[in-house]
């Protein structure tokens, strides 16, 4: 709300300044100069007062910006009766601040729902029934009902026989976990099975999820604000401006020459061109599915040299897939998959849904199963076209089909084995795993070409799983078994050697994303907490777009610098001309407007940036097909 109020205030200042300038010109043409001056002053004063307040705030925080030049030019023009020139400066300045504010606000509004996964209430057993109560009212020992799909609201222990929860947002484990009665359940995990009871062991404020939220808030609060690109030239430009204006007045005795110098010196190439180039860069990045939350993160992206990646949902797809089918009785692989998928249609288990998706991707026709019975977290049994089928874990299938558990080869780390029995006979196994994203190696190579010199993996998963998945990627380091606060520590350690970018997709990544110089969230399927904590959100589920975002950030930064150098150079030439008496204040203002137009047109070149990876139509078409294929397969 505060940001919205600030944006409205800046918009009002711009409208008043523009209306005053236009109305004053109208009265001038109507031969009413006295009224024109009053109207111009009425439009100038709000902009000047807002400018002075901003200058005082900057000075109080130890910053000296180019706003001082704009204030000097407006004040001097008013003092010596050059109200038209002051009005033009007021419009230029207020327009620049409006554009800069718009750049920040536009991106932030895309992620307005802060931490939307945080539950607000919980279903508590009381007096033989259920009541929905706020989280603050839950006390240790309370018995809660966790419905299917609910986020576990507080830390507790499973009070039912078993529970099946998705902890990927907390631990980085991509496959759901079965918890037996009495096992600990972390707040923030999602119930992926049937409803179960939970006995609270901690109040909500002391639970795991609340701690992660606090880590996000603390990391965000500790991050130093980035100074504007324009302010890097502020002191030098301010000194040159004052020196030329003072010299013009001192040697000629004409204060109007000093006013003309100050008007020409109004740093609109810095105030306007920089935000225009950066806003154009933000828009261009969004065109390729990279949402960058403001000009500050865009500028920071251009300076990144160290990249830290999460594993699950970032380097890997984050969803279990079939990596192989093992036939045990001569049955065709497609038939094994068809029978298993037919039965799994009755289950909402993530592994079951992955099996169904794989069958549909192969074009297999799935009939409707009958007599279906599911044991949550164990497996499903029923009849398919009159045949008795059992699908699930090895022990479950063996027990339900009356078989002895078969010997199986050692599975790769991080894999899950799904057994299938038909008519009392083991017919095969499906090996499920969370595979590396297609083209992940090429993506990392492209990032190194963009200047990323150090790439690390940080995951909450086990070391053997992480090593298997990332083998051959040429990473500079691998950190496994990390908790959220350990990921933050890793980011802070790496920041000592230069700017750090962190990429992740789960709630467990949110604190590290907030602590990094640039946090990037896989927002297509990632948790809202990580998306809110991040500075950049990848709106498409493709990590290769990260390289496109970095390239756009660096190109738009170069264009902004070019605009600044050209604009300042022309302004200095104009100041010298004004000091020599060749320009009046009004002419100086008009010249400055012409410089502004040229500089802004150059800044708008950022709208035409085309990342190298997407430079040819064939590449774009291929990228589009890659993006659409998973959606078509999973529909």
Per-residue pLDDT at 217? 54
Q: Which two tokens stand for residue 281?
A: 């860069």
Q: Give how far Cα 471 sits from Cα of 435, 457, 465, 598, Å.
A: 12, 12, 10, 51
Given 155, 310, 317, 544, the catalytic residue = 310
pLDDT of residue 338: 92
Are the C-beta atoms of residues 294 and 100 closer than 8 Å to each other?
no
273: Cα separation from own chain's centroid: 25
Confidence of residue 634 (pLDDT cuts 50, 70, 90): very low
Helix axes 67-79, 33-60, angle to 10 degrees: 150
328-348: pLDDT as tens digits: 878 888 898 999 999 888 887
Q: Which of 315, 282, 288 is nearest to 620 (CA)?
A: 288
Burial (0-12, 13-18, 19+ Cβ within 10 Å), 31: exposed
Q: Where are the beta strands (DSSP E) in 285-422?
A: 290-292, 306-309, 321-327, 370-375, 379-384, 387-392, 416-422
The conformation of residue 316, written as its DSSP 8-state character, comes to B
Structure tokens at 194: 């049937």
Tens-digit pLDDT profile for residues 534-569: 788 776 667 788 888 899 989 988 888 888 788 888
| Residue 232 in this model has a pLDDT that exceeds 70 | no
Q: Is 310 designated active site? A: yes
d(CA 260, CA 235) in angstroms, rounded, equals 20
Give the span between the Cα atoms of 240 and 232, in whole angstroms: 14
pLDDT value at 200 more than 90: yes
Least confident of 185-189, 194-198, 355-359, 389-393: 185-189
Q: Is 616 exposed, middle or buried, given 0-12, 13-18 or 19+ CB atoms closer than 10 A?
A: exposed
Neighbours of 376 (CB within 10 A): 22
* 76, 259 contact by CB (below 8 A): yes
- Give whichever of 162-176, 262-276, 413-427 has the largest mean pLDDT: 413-427
User: How does pLDDT run across 94-105, given as a tens digit for each residue?
Assistant: 876 676 566 445
Give the residue, 172 or 52, on which the prediction is more confident.
Answer: 52
| 390, 365 contact by CB (below 8 A) | no
Confidence check: pLDDT of 112 > 60:
no
Q: Characterize 247-284 residue by residue with b for buried, 16 or more Cβ atoms within 10 angstroms of its Cβ, and e for exposed.
A: ebbeeeeeebbbbbbbbbbbbbbbbbbbbbbbbbbbbb
Q: Does the pLDDT of residue 167 top 80, yes or no?
A: no
Closest CA to 300 of 509, 486, 502, 595: 502
Answer yes or no: is pLDDT of 197 > 90: yes
CA distance 187 to 207: 6
Measure the CA–CA gap between 480 and 478, rounded to whole angstroms. Answer: 6
- Would you state the pLDDT for residue 620? 36
Kind of pairing between the strands at 121-126 and 500-504: unpaired
Give the pLDDT score at 624. 36
Task: For residue range 39-76, list pLDDT tens digits in order.
Answer: 999 988 998 898 888 888 877 876 666 677 778 888 88
> What pLDDT, on the 0 to 100 scale, is given for residue 136?
86
| Sheet of strand 518-522, all strands in order from the earlier edge strand to the far edge | 290-292, 536-538, 518-522, 500-504, 306-309, 454-458, 477-479
Q: Return d(Cα 378, Cα 375) in angstroms, integer.
A: 5
Strand spans (E) along 54-176: 121-126, 129-134, 143-146, 156-158, 162-166
pLDDT for 588 beyond 50: yes
Question: In which band, very low, low, confident or very high, does the pLDDT at 532 lie, cut at 50, 70 and 90?
Answer: low
Instruction: Check if the beta carbon of residue 132 is closer than 8 Å to that of residue 123.
Output: yes
pLDDT band with cut points at 50, 70 and 90 for residue 225:
very low
Bridging pattern class, strands 416-422 and 387-392: antiparallel
Q: Is the pLDDT of residue 530 over 60?
A: no
Q: What is the CA radius of gyration of the chain?
A: 31
> Is pLDDT above 90 for 228?
no
- pLDDT above 50 (res 249): yes
Q: How far apart are the two ends of the chain, measured CA to CA in Å?
A: 38
Percent of the chain exceeding pLDDT 90 equals: 10
DSSP symbol at 273: I
């Amino acid at each position: 709300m505060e940001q919205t109020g600030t944006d409205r205030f800046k918009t009002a200042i711009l409208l008043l300044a523009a209306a005053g300038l236009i109305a004053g010109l109208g009265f001038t043409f109507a031969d009413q100069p006295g009224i024109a001056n009053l109207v111009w002053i009425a439009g100038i004063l709000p902009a000047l007062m807002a400018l002075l307040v901003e200058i005082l705030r900057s000075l109080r925080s130890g910053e000296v910006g180019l706003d001082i030049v704009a204030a000097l030019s407006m004040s001097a023009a008013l003092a010596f009766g050059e109200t038209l020139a002051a009005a033009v400066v007021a419009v230029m300045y207020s327009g620049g601040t409006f554009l800069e504010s718009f750049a920040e606000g536009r991106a932030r509004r895309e992620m307005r729902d802060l931490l939307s996964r945080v539950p607000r209430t919980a279903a508590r057993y009381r007096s033989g029934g259920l009541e929905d109560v706020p989280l603050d009212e839950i006390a240790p020992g309370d018995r809660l009902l966790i419905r299917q799909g609910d986020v576990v609201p507080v830390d507790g222990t499973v009070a039912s026989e078993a529970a099946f929860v998705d902890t990927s947002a907390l631990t980085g484990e991509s496959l759901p976990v079965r918890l037996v009665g009495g096992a600990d359940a972390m707040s923030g995990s999602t119930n992926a099975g049937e409803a179960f009871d939970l006995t609270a062991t901690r109040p909500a404020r002391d639970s795991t999820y609340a701690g992660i939220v606090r880590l996000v808030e603390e990391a965000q609060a500790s991050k130093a604000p980035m100074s504007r690109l324009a302010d890097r030239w502020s002191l030098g430009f301010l000194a040159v401006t004052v020196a030329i204006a003072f010299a013009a007045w001192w040697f000629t005795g004409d204060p109007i020459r000093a006013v003309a110098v100050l008007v020409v010196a109004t740093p609109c190439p810095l105030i306007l061109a920089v935000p225009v180039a950066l806003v154009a860069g933000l828009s261009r990045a969004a065109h390729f599915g990279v949402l960058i939350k403001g000009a500050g993160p865009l500028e920071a992206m251009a300076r990144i040299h160290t990249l830290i990646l999460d594993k699950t949902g970032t380097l890997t797809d984050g969803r279990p897939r079939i990596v192989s089918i093992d036939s045990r009785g001569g049955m065709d692989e497609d038939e094994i998959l068809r029978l298993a998928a037919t039965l799994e249609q009755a289950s909402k288990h993530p592994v079951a849904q992955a099996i169904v998706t794989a069958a549909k991707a192969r074009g297999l026709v799935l009939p409707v199963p009958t007599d279906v019975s599911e044991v949550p977290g164990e497996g499903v049994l029923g009849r398919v076209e009159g045949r008795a089928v059992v699908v699930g874990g090895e022990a479950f299938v063996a027990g339900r089909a009356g078989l002895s558990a078969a010997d199986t080869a050692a599975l790769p780390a991080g894999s899950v084995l799904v057994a299938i029995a038909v008519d009392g006979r083991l017919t095969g196994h499906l090996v499920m795993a969370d595979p590396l994203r297609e083209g992940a190696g090429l993506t990392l190579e492209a990032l190194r070409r963009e200047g990323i010199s150090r790439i690390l993996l940080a995951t909450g998963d086990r070391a053997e799983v992480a090593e298997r998945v990332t083998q051959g990627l040429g990473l500079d380091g691998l950190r496994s078994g990390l908790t959220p606060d350990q990921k933050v520590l890793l980011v802070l350690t790496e920041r000592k050697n230069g700017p750090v970018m962190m990429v992740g997709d789960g709630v467990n990544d949110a604190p590290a994303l907030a602590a990094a110089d640039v946090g990037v969230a896989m927002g297509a399927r990632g948790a809202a907490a990580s998306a809110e904590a991040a500075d950049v959100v990848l709106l498409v589920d493709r990590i290769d777009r990260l390289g496109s975002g970095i390239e756009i950030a660096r190109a738009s930064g170069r264009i902004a610098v070019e605009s600044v150098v050209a604009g300042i150079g022309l302004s200095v030439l104009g100041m010298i001309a004004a000091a020599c008496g060749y320009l009046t204040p009004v002419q100086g203002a008009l010249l400055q407007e012409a410089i502004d137009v040229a500089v802004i047109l150059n800044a708008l070149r950022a709208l035409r940036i085309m990342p190298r990876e997407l430079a040819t139509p064939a590449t774009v078409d291929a990228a589009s097909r890659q993006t659409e294929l998973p959606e078509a397969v999973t529909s």
